[in-house]
Chain A
Amino acid sequence: MEITELTVHELQEKIKNKELTISEVTKAYVDRINEKEKDVNCFITTLTDEALEKAKEIEDKVNKGEIKSELAGIPIGIKDNICVKGVRTTCASKMLENFISPYDATVMERLDDENLVNLGKLNMDEFAMGSSTEYSALAKTRNPWDLNKVPGGSSGGSAAAVAANLVPWALGSDTGGSIRQPAAFCGVVGLKPTYGLVSRYGLVAFASSLDQIGPITKDVKDSAMLLNILVGHDEKDTTSFDMPKVDYVASLKNDVKGLKIGIPKEFYGEGINSEVKECLQKAIEKYKELGAEVEEFSLDIAEYALATYYIIACAEASSNLGRFDGIRYGYRTKDYESLEDIYKKSRSEAFGDEVKRRIILGTYVLSSGYYDAYYKKAQKVRTLVKKEFDKAFEKYDIILTPTSPTVAFDVGIKSNNPLEMYLADICTVSVNVAGLPGISIPCGVDSNGMPIGMQLIGNRFSESTVLNTAYTYEQATKFRENFKPTFKK
């Protein structure tokens, strides 16, 4: 098996047993990037030279016994909305095309503590707004399973890079499904942690009350390993939780006997593609076989949650993106006379259409006269969504849904109707609205060989249960052994 096809826990094992050296691993990935990146365009910035140097340095230190970390020298890719000191952090926007971050995100410090090697910054929809990565102003990422299809989004670069074996694992961010949906489209594992489990410090904000950083990996065990590194209270993020550490790898029991799984029938309605439904049905049967107690129930909040999501996310975004004003950093229009020119022209020229559309929507719902009808109402609906989930989790340990109504769609067919696009987020956004953990794992492919994702939702801070449920299915079905991306042209 090629080095780049190995999972991180397999790599780690081989490094430990001296079957592989740290340098060899990074070298294999750099070669792979040099070979395949041109087909998939996952990166905005590659750091291959730096990575090779860093790997050598870490290898020397490990050999001298100066570094003890078990993950030392493992490469990783980072979504380009996470700040890395001294490296370009663009958010795939013309606005930040040349922005060099003066500081490290907290998650980057945690990766550095473990001596991971950063292979580069990965493509995304501009400011994480989108579900196909086609809203990137800087690169056109393709789906490794079919190069005519989108990788999903907004963490499309991260998911495609993991699927294409350009990185062993990656960080993504998820505001309304941006880790889970591209993971589903690319046939990999994507975990959105409970809001507050991972520090947001250094994640360029889209919607502060919804954003979370999480792992995108080849398998569930790798997700658990990466999550182990990421979690923990950060005094720089007051919304991050201070709680005892859990070993998520240890929670992988490969056993779901007696686990109560709820199937919310509203998530399997008309809008869901029939092949996706069929595939999910088989997965549900599998869980029954594995000894889980599965039951259908009603969770009639999907549309409310979606409306609430777009109101809140856009409102927060309209404010969060105000700092991009062409004064301290970022794009400044070439042609200006007044201060107002700087503001309006810089912002209008450097933000893409979708970003501007969401800023306008967000400004509208916060503006005087509309605040009560939209924003304030949405905040109440948010309470309703949380309560409905609370009720569901009194009965069930896990809620099982499709990750996306469809598989990856063709490049360029992106609808001219934004609402239609927003409706495609219906399966994932309620998880963010309620602040819950959710994972997407592959559960099969459709008739065209495109992967289908299954979403498992847990109660707040029940990542252990979520991961174990996913792991048990994965061990029983071995998706990775049966299906591989083909780079079909």
Chain B
Amino acid sequence: MQISKEEILHIADLADLNIKDEEIDKYILNLQDILNFANIVNNAPVDGMPETIGTNDNYNVFRKDEVVDFEDKEALLQNAPEKERGMFKIPKVIG
């Protein structure tokens, strides 16, 4: 498993993370190491086996369509780094 610099930067971009130039090699090595190990899943005798999404056999767990108001609206905004008129403020986004 070889991972290129471009590839790691693309992945970081998808994850919205910056990787400093001096860290790139370390990330590549770590990732290659782990993936080389993780590759053993491709040797597992799993032909024809279904995928397990959760370990839970529950299904059809639904909610009734009934309004419940969350009362403490202020608590929802109290952690905002920046807010204005009850909204979360961010730099201008061109629509």
Contacts and interface: CB of A to CB of B under 8 A. Distances in A.
A binds B: yes
Q: Most chain-B Cβ atoms within 10 A of its Cβ — which of A241, A304, A418, A419?
A: A419
Contact of A360 (B15, B52, B58, B79): B15
Contacts of A364: 11, 31, 35
A329 B80 contact: yes
Contacts, number: 166
A103 B73 CA distance: 11
B17 A359 contact: yes
B18 A339 contact: no
Interface in A332-367: 332, 336-345, 347-348, 351, 356-357, 359-361, 363-365, 367
B52 A379 contact: yes
A360 B12 contact: yes
Contacts of A198: none
A266 to B, nearest CB: 14
- Size range of the interface on A? 35 or more
Contacts of A435: 54-56
Contacts of A345: 18
B90 A196 contact: no
A99 B75 CA distance: 11
Interface in A291-329: 303-304, 307-308, 310-311, 318, 322, 325-329
Interface string B56-81: 10100101000000001001101111
Nearest to A235: B63
Contacts of A303: 40
B25 interface: no
Contacts of A100: 75, 78-79
A360 B16 contact: no
Contacts of A418: 30, 33-34
Contacts of A348: 17-19
Nearest to A362: B15
A209 B17 contact: no
A409 interface: no
Interface string A377-388: 111111110110
Interface residues of B, number: 47
Interface string A396-434: 000000000000000000000111001100000000011
A241 B31 CA distance: 36
A244 interface: no
B84 interface: no
Interface in B1-55: 8, 11-12, 14-19, 27, 30-31, 33-35, 37-42, 44-46, 49-55
A327 B18 contact: no
Interface SS of chain B: loop
A307 B40 contact: yes
A343 B35 CA distance: 27
Contacts of A273: none
A374 interface: yes
Contact of B11 (A235, A308, A363, A383): A363
Contact of B78 (A102, A241, A360, A383): A102
A86 B75 CA distance: 8
B18 A363 contact: no
B86 to A, nearest CB: 12
Nearest to A435: B55
A238 interface: yes
Contacts of B31: 357, 360-361, 364
A477 interface: no
B53 A360 contact: no
Given A238-B61, A435-B56, A328 B17 contact: no
A419 B19 CA distance: 20
A145 interface: no
Contact of A308 (B30, B41, B58): B41
A416 B76 CA distance: 40
B46 A380 contact: yes
Contacts of A377: 41-42, 44, 46
B27 A344 contact: no
B83 to A, nearest CB: 9
Nearest to B60: A238
A190 to B, nearest CB: 20
Interface in A160-212: 195-196, 208-209
B56 A307 contact: no
B54 A419 contact: no
A1 interface: no
Contacts of B30: 357, 418-419
Given A339-B93, A422-B34, A386 B45 contact: no
Q: Which 3 A-B pairs rank lowest in CB-CB distance, beginning with the nearest?
A: A435-B55, A329-B79, A102-B75
19 contacts: A209-B53, A209-B55, A304-B41, A304-B44, A326-B81, A328-B80, A330-B79, A330-B81, A340-B16, A344-B17, A344-B18, A347-B15, A363-B15, A367-B11, A377-B44, A383-B50, A419-B30, A419-B33, A433-B55
